[in-house]
């Protein structure tokens, strides 16, 4: 959750608390984390975030603590083989290159900007280890990444499933808006304060202006008729993902109804995911929320070009292929060159 790590970096910087930023700038083969993973290493041994845990993180932490004492940046180039990680079970077989930046707390303004982005912002680490925004394509950089604003999540309905999905989605860096005609449910007694609430007649709610960022839709109203009402409008909106709770039978009946009444084309209905959520045999609303958010995370990674490659892949970078304005507080990272080996 990139936005949260930037929020913590901004908070520590504002408090004058030193920390070393460790980040994975390049990966080749299989590794426990992808390019762009970050961890903050504190002088007292505390760690915020993760580079994958185990012996890899322990090794980087030891180097980060030395870098904090010396004030000198460092790099790491670790082969995750039997010799390096057998005791910790870390035998991925890949190679991880990264940077350790002990002066990261001096860039609080940048971290604050990245924690609150409303438009894509690109930043990086130059070959002299200085941290800066990337304003043009010139110069030599060890690492660059683009941070995007959060993806939007529209939830139609404010019942038990929505109440379980919304707080988890907020933790996962979605910007959540809940729509319902029931003020007794769509309120901040039942939803976190960070949730945007839209309450009123459905014919008004369904005219809401669409967000500028890629948007996920989740239809979980109080019944089939209300689900169909929302879907009749939302099926025509450019959602990056549109899911609806229900059975396969419900999906088939709605599809037949919409085609018969010419409410949508087959191609539009093909975009609807119903039943929504990964098939994890979920029981109860909390498990349903986990299955739904897992599917959202999977789709978001695909949108941002962050989906993991197979363990046998020889590609050493993950290119920045995210759509303009996409995000989820997410970052698409691309190393500009290979860090010096240590």
Is residue 335 over pLDDT 60? no
Q: Which whole number is the average pLDDT over 5-33?
A: 91
- Number of Cα atoms under 13 Å in the Cβ half of residue 163: 14
Taking the C-alpha atoms of residue 17 and residue 7, their distance in angstroms, rounded to an integer, is 14
Q: What percent of the chain has pLDDT over 90?
A: 72
CATH number of 151-302: 3.40.50.720
Confidence category of residue 84, pLDDT binned at 50, 70, 90: very low
Q: Which whole number is the average pLDDT over 286-298?
A: 97
Q: Which whole number is the average pLDDT over 261-278?
A: 97
Q: Which whole number is the average pLDDT over 101-130?
A: 94
293-309 per-position pLDDT tens digit: 999 999 998 987 765 44
Segment among 216-220, 296-300, 332-336 with least mean pLDDT: 332-336
Closest CA to 111 of 219, 19, 195, 199: 19
pLDDT for 154 equals: 98
Taking the C-alpha atoms of residue 7 and residue 11, their distance in angstroms, rounded to an integer, is 6
Partnered with residue 198 across adjacent β-strands are: 179
Q: Which whole number is the average pLDDT over 258-262?
A: 97
DSSP code at position 4: H
pLDDT, the chain, mean: 86
Segment among 71-75, 83-87, 249-253, 308-312 with least mean pLDDT: 308-312
Q: Which whole number is the average pLDDT over 190-202?
A: 97
pLDDT for 330 equals: 55
DSSP 3-state percent helix, strand, coil across the chain (nearest 5): 35, 25, 45
Helix H or strand E encompassing 121? strand 121-126
Residue 48, SS3? Answer: strand
Confidence category of residue 338, pLDDT binned at 50, 70, 90: very low
**Strand 241-244 to 272-273 pairing:** parallel
Inter-CA distances, 243 with 37, 246, 271, 292, 323, Å = 29, 10, 9, 9, 21
Q: Which whole number is the average pLDDT over 175-186?
A: 97
Confidence category of residue 326, pLDDT binned at 50, 70, 90: very low
How do the domains of the chain map onto residue ranges? 2-147, 151-302
Taking the C-alpha atoms of residue 156 and residue 326, their distance in angstroms, rounded to an integer, is 22
Taking the C-alpha atoms of residue 255 and residue 3, their distance in angstroms, rounded to an integer, is 38
What's the pTM?
A: 0.75
**Strand 196-199 to 174-180 pairing:** parallel
């Amino acid at each position: 959750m990139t936005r949260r790590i930037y929020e913590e970096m901004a908070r520590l910087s504002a408090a004058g608390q030193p920390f070393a930023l460790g980040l994975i700038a390049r990966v080749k083969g299989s590794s426990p984390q992808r390019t762009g993973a970050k961890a903050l290493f504190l002088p007292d041994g505390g760690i915020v975030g993760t580079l994958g845990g185990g012996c890899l993180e322990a090794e980087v932490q030891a180097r980060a603590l030395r870098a904090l004492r010396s004030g000198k940046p460092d790099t790491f180039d670790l082969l995750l083989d039997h010799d390096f990680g057998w005791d910790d079970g870390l035998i991925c077989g890949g190679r991880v290159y990264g940077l350790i930046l002990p002066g990261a707390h001096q860039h609080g303004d940048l971290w604050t900007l990245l924690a609150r982005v409303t438009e894509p912002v690109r930043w990086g680490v130059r070959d002299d280890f200085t941290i800066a925004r990337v304003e043009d394509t010139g110069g030599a950089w060890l690492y660059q990444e683009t941070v995007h604003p959060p993806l939007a999540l529209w939830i139609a309905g404010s019942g038990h499933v929505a109440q379980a999905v919304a707080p988890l989605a907020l933790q996962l860096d979605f910007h959540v808006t809940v729509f319902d005609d029931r003020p007794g449910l769509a309120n901040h007694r039942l939803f976190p304060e960070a949730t945007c609430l839209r309450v009123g007649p459905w014919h008004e709610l369904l005219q809401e202006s669409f967000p500028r960022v890629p948007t996920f839709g989740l239809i979980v109203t109080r019944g089939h008729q209300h689900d169909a009402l929302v879907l009749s409008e939302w099926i025509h909106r450019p959602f990056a993902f549109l899911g609806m709770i229900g059975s396969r039978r419900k999906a088939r009946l709605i599809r037949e109804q919409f085609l018969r009444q010419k409410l949508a084309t087959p191609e539009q209905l093909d975009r609807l995911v119903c039943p929504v959520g990964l098939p994890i045999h979920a029981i109860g609303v909390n498990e349903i929320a986990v299955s739904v958010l897992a599917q959202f995370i999977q789709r978001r990674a695909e949108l941002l070009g962050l989906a993991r490659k197979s363990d046998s892949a020889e590609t050493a970078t993950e290119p920045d292929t995210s759509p303009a304005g996409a995000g989820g507080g997410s970052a698409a990272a691309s190393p500009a060159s290979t860090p010096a080996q240590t």
